[in-house]
Amino acid sequence: MSKKLATIILAAGKGKRMKNPEKSKVMFELDGKPMIGYVIDLALSINSDLVIPIVGHQKQTVINYVNDSFPGDLDKITFAHQDQQLGTGHAVMQTKEILNDFDGNVLILSGDVPLLSVETLQQFIDFHELGNYRASLISAILDEPTGYGRVIRDENIDFSHIVEDKDATDEELRINEINSGIYLMDAKEMFEALETVNTENAQGEYYLTDVFKFFSGKNMKIGADPVYNQYEITGVNTIEQLEELEEIKKSL
């Protein structure tokens, strides 16, 4: 029997390269619909027991949109607030009070990754459960991995850890398997791992990816599931990337 599922959606970012400080990045529209709308639809489609958008920059517009667009699902939706953007790890820390008594798995999605499909996500959840992994992530093989965190595997081709692009060595930068930023793990173990995360990195932020160091250190089984359609895990950081996804969506 599957465990209960809470879905956290990272949606607090400013999106500096979107060139509109008056707008939350996740509120930029893809085919006439804010990106966050696609991600909440996805979370509800996989029967999440709880959906937690983490809001921050221009958060009231995001809250208003969600409340207006999902009136029948507000019993499942609870907002967490990240008023200082101190990294993805810090963002997830803001959900601790909401999930304090939650016994189940936590799925972490990004509010600026709008084309992930239900089929791919369900396959990922099945991969995690059937493989008896304690933590899992979706990865992808890219011809041009610059800017993405790299998935490091050991001599047995098993997952070892993730290194962020700005912290990677020249050898690690040549790896083309990247981290999509989509994760699944037990709620209680996730918060235990987050207590070990610090800001000793090139960005001076709390990296969510550092939780995998905790799991590895305890010899917990970690899975990395490569996705076939790369556009599904593509995040939007610029208007140009948004336009590219518009074209892809039209062809689907």
Active-site residue set: 17
Angle formed by the axes of helices 118-130 and 35-45, nearest 10°: 50
- Region of 173 on the Ramachandran plot (φ > 0 left; ψ -120 to 50 alpha; else beta): alpha
Q: Residue with structure tokens 């912290």?
A: 167
| Positive/negative CA dihedral, 231, 3, 108, 150 | negative
Q: Count of CB atoms within 10 A of residue 121's CB?
A: 22
Sequence-separated (6 or more) residues with CB below 8 Å from residue 11: 24, 26, 36, 39, 53, 54, 55, 56, 62, 111, 112
At 43 the three-state DSSP class reads helix
Cα–Cα distance for residue pair 88/207, rounded to 1 Å: 6
HSE of 190, CA atoms in CB hemisphere, 13 A = 29
Between the alpha carbon of residue 42 and those of residues 37, 82, 151, 211, the distances in Å are: 9, 22, 25, 25
